[in-house]
Amino acid sequence: MERGELIAGRYELVKRLGRGGMGDVWAGRDRTLHRDVAIKLLVLDGAAHEDLPRRFEREAVAAAQINHPNVVALHDRGVHEDLLFLVMERVAGATLTEYIRSDGPMAPSHALAIAEEICAALIAAHQAGVVHYDIKPHNVMLTPGRQVKVVDFGIAGFLQTAFTLAGSSQLTPAGTPEYGARAGV
């Protein structure tokens, strides 16, 4: 995918923000509603299984049920060519990882305030029946006003399913092992 391309005839790719093993995250523009968005494109090479779009849809619908100020809102999802895509609220700011790297250690009171907002986001998710699977500093955004926004709800569980359906004979734990609960790793 390249800058300027349209996803689903509506979402313009403006700037690649990140690249991972499964796909890219782009800053984008919703040409219908005239708003800035983030677009996650998931490339599932070798996972050409007819059930994947349905499973992806179920995970996206579950994640969209979370309505909380500390959770990045999911606006849309779909299939475009051979890609699955998510369209989310675009958050100005930096990840918690980036913030700590640039500013160094934070005051305990500030760390506690961030932890409280992360917990509030996770409580809202659990009340909606959604498990994050991959909570880590890279999946926590801090706005310029220092509001916490947790990203990537429910998607790690979908990715685990995609790898399993692609032919893996073992069920791999979802998420990042270094940040997982001891019982799950």
- Catalytic residue numbers read 134
The residue type at 117: E
pLDDT on residue 168: 45
Domains of the chain: 6-184 (1.10.510.10)
Distance CA 35, CA 181 (A): 37
Q: Is 136 assigned a ligand-binding role in the annotation?
A: no
Supply 6's token pair: 């349209």
Partnered with residue 36 across adjacent β-strands are 29
pLDDT tens digits along 4-46: 999 999 999 999 998 876 678 999 999 999 999 999 998 765 5
| Phi, psi for 18 (deg, rounded to 5) | -165, 160
Residue ranges for the chain with pLDDT beneath 50? 163-174, 181-185
Supply 165's token pair: 């359906």
Whole-structure pTM value: 0.78
pLDDT on residue 161: 54
pLDDT on residue 131: 85
pLDDT on residue 183: 43
pLDDT on residue 167: 47
Distance CA 159, CA 100 (A): 28
Dihedral angle of Cα 22, 177, 76, 141, to the nearest 10 degrees: -110
Give the number of other Cβ atoms within 10 Å of residue 31's Cβ: 12
pLDDT on residue 178: 56
